[in-house]
Amino acid sequence: MEFAVNRPSGLITPTETLQEDSVVNYLSNYACIALGAVAGASARYFLSTLVARQVASPFPYGTLLINLTGSLILGFFLAFSTERVLLDPRWRLLVAVGFCGSYTTFSSYAFESFALMEQGQWLLSGINLVASNAFCLAAVLAGAALARAL
């Protein structure tokens, strides 16, 4: 196993224009993101449907579980791929941008918190806000620690 020497830092998605050397490379990057997004959205739908069938509650357990597992996956993958192994940069596009980007549900989390507030469910809304932020951060830390322990 090769260990990463020059690990990328910063945000998951690029904030500056990438210098692509060919149209094929550019399209290949988009294909990686699209494949990851299809897998992530499909996994999100499957898991949220499964949780909804198992747990009848006004609390959005499915969204919380998806955000927790997505944070764990993202923390593990980014730490592992930047500190432990050298991977083709397209893996980052496939897993971090494509899969985790479509799998995790920050917009759903925000809307569900808002909806709970509008319904007067202040305690559930507060629990959702605190639990999602605290536990998802903890899941990222756990994923990174797991990757570093390998």
Segment 44-70, tens digit of pLDDT: 999 999 999 999 899 999 999 999 999
Q: Who wins on pLDDT, 130 or 16?
A: 130
For residue 107, give its domain range.
23-149
Give the global pTM.
0.76
Q: Judge whether 12 lies within some domain.
A: no
What is the residue type of 139? A
Report the chain's mean pLDDT, rounded to a whole number. 86
Mean pLDDT for the stretch of residues 137-147: 94
Q: Who wins on pLDDT, 135 or 108?
A: 135
Q: Judge whether 94 lies within some domain.
A: yes
Count of positions (residues) in the chain: 150
Give the number of domains in the chain. 1
- Written as six digits, the tokens of 41 are 């959205």
Q: Judge whether 96 lies within some domain.
A: yes
Q: Judge whether 14 lies within some domain.
A: no
Q: Judge whether 5 lies within some domain.
A: no
Q: Who wins on pLDDT, 106 or 16?
A: 106
